[in-house]
Structure 1
Amino acid sequence: MSEQTLLAVQGLTAFYGTSQALFGLDVTIKAGQIMALIGRNGAGKSTTLRTIMGILPARDGTLKLRGQSIKGLAPYRISRIGLGYVPEDRQIFPAHTILENLELGIKPGRPDLPEWTLQRIYEMFPILYERRHGPAGYLSGGEQQMLSIARTLMGNPEVLLLDEPSEGLAPLIVNHIAEVIMSFREAGLTVLLSEQNMHFCLRVATDVTVISKGQAVYTGTVDEFRVNEDVKTRYLTV
């Protein structure tokens, strides 16, 4: 795995109105990593992804992708530079067909990464091929999650931001989503995912950052995190 830093977040602060949500958060993602942001509900996981993506303005701190500042850029510009974002609420277009949803996500490929094509997407998500001409609104919640991930992949991102990909899904679908995420490393894709399901994270991630009250309080490999009972007790036990 390359040691190149792709996404660097330092001293990040963000607000919802007058309420501060992030307090000088730091997180660094290297090429090939699957970094899981873990924390209790309301810790700032989703806020971190929204701020990185430019949906929520960053007040202070730095945001860099491959050394290039993305702070203050519009989300569509950040997407073109190389970040892909799968929101927690999926945001598919229910009246459009699955194929149309996928086509809306198409962006040019990147020189150092294999290109995501419709054929490649259909091989990963066969159900989307079977129903490609049907309205996306008829899909189940799990199938909509697959479509949301697939549509983002059609944009050929270098770093994929995944917000709560396992939330509310049946165990069989969660298992499929986990296998898909683990396959991203072989595809050369780097992932930052927000998750409350610790067992899911331990299965798919290579590294873990624990967030509490809008700050990163722990970072380590998955193996290091597994045996750190103090961190789990202090920041994750309800």
Structure 2
Amino acid sequence: MSADALLIVHGVSAFYGSSQALFNLNLSIKAGQVMALIGRNGAGKSTTIRTIMGVLPPAQGSVHLAGRALEGLPPYMIARAGLGYVPEDRQIFPNHTVEENLEIADKPGLRGARDWTIPRVYDLFPILRERRHGPAGRLSGGEQQMLAIARTLMGNPDVLLLDEPSEGLAPIIVNRIAEVLIDFRRAGLTVLLAEQNMHFCLRVATDVTVISKGSVVYEGDIEAFRANDDVKLRYLSA
């Protein structure tokens, strides 16, 4: 574990009922990293994100954000502590307008920062500005994904957790999401990205953690991962 990491997950195990899903999992992310948590379907990627966020409380182990212990806190308190969560199923409010979805989430960051505002997220996703007065439930899947990301940014988080943001989207939308993540990387935002799409991760991430059967099996920067055919073949090929 890196001593200067912003988010540290140490020795975490988690269960769904009597079935163990995570096994003594360790993960650390420094400020400004875009960390791709990558693995096959069912490897434990989404479970890791949910456990960090407190949606699935860890059975053992610890989660720290900027030195503050998060394990045992309810998800809303973890969000207030500085984690922003974009779930796999997006969970927008379909009967509210696009702008109302953003207004609901509007709050300053932990230290009072308001780096993300409605005008700024509209600049990031211009299509949302065009749709701002319409019900969010009428957006396409790709537009809903943009709204879910924009809504989370409105909470001004210190770390953004993204669960499978490219899943089920048309290639043109996946490309737009990738461009947004590249912008985040250039701006020094800290992101944990759970993804199955290796090529998407190779494009946007600074670092990679590979997970298999609920355990971390590889960690490295993006260039080391790109060159490691053995890891890709063993843990990520179909």
Question: Is 1:58 aligned with 2:58?
Answer: yes
Preserved contact between residue 36 and residue 192 of structure 1 (Cα < 8 Å) = yes
Question: Is 1:39 aligned with 2:44?
Answer: no
Q: Distance in 1 between matches of 2:208 and 2:107?
A: 30
> What's 1:140 paired with?
140
Give 1:4 shift: 3.4
> What's 1:214 paired with?
214
AA in 1 matched with 2:27:
V
After TM superposition, the score normalised by the length of structure 1 is: 0.96
Preserved contact between residue 33 and residue 191 of structure 2 (Cα < 8 Å) = yes
Residues matched between the structures, number: 236
Give 1:24 shift: 0.5
Question: Is 1:156 aligned with 2:166?
Answer: no
Deviation sequence 1:37-56 (CA, Å, 0-9, x none): 11010000000000000000
After TM superposition, the score normalised by the length of structure 2 is: 0.96
- SS of the residue corresponding to residue 120 of structure 1 reads helix
> What's 2:189 paired with?
189
Give unpaired runs (5+ residues) of structure 1. Answer: none
4+ aligned runs moved over 2 Å, structure 1: 109-114, 185-188
Q: Distance in 2 between matches of 1:86 and 1:93?
A: 13
Preserved contact between residue 38 and residue 194 of structure 1 (Cα < 8 Å) = yes
Equivalent positions of 1:57-206 (< 5 A) are: 57-111=57-111, 115-206=115-206
Which 10-residue stretch deviates more, 75-84 or 182-191?
182-191
Give 1:234 shift: 1.0
Q: Distance in 2 between matches of 1:57 and 1:125?
A: 33
Deviation sequence 1:165-202 (CA, Å, 0-9, x none): 00011111111100111111333320001000000000
Question: Is 1:28 aligned with 2:40?
Answer: no
Preserved contact between residue 109 and residue 116 of structure 1 (Cα < 8 Å) = no
- SS of the residue corresponding to residue 72 of structure 1 reads coil
- SS of the residue corresponding to residue 148 of structure 1 reads helix
Q: Distance in 2 between matches of 1:120 and 1:99?
A: 13
Give 1:73 shift: 0.3
- SS of the residue corresponding to residue 231 of structure 2 reads helix
AA in 2 matched with 1:75:
P
> What's 1:13 paired with?
13
- SS of the residue corresponding to residue 64 of structure 2 reads strand
Give unpaired runs (5+ residues) of structure 2. Answer: none
- SS of the residue corresponding to residue 185 of structure 2 reads coil
Give 1:110 shift: 4.9
> What's 1:224 paired with?
224
Give 1:109 shift: 3.3
Q: Distance in 2 between matches of 1:189 and 1:113?
A: 14
Give 1:237 shift: 1.2
Shift in CA distance, 73/111, structure 1 to aligned 2, threshold 3 Å:
closer
AA in 1 matched with 2:173:
I
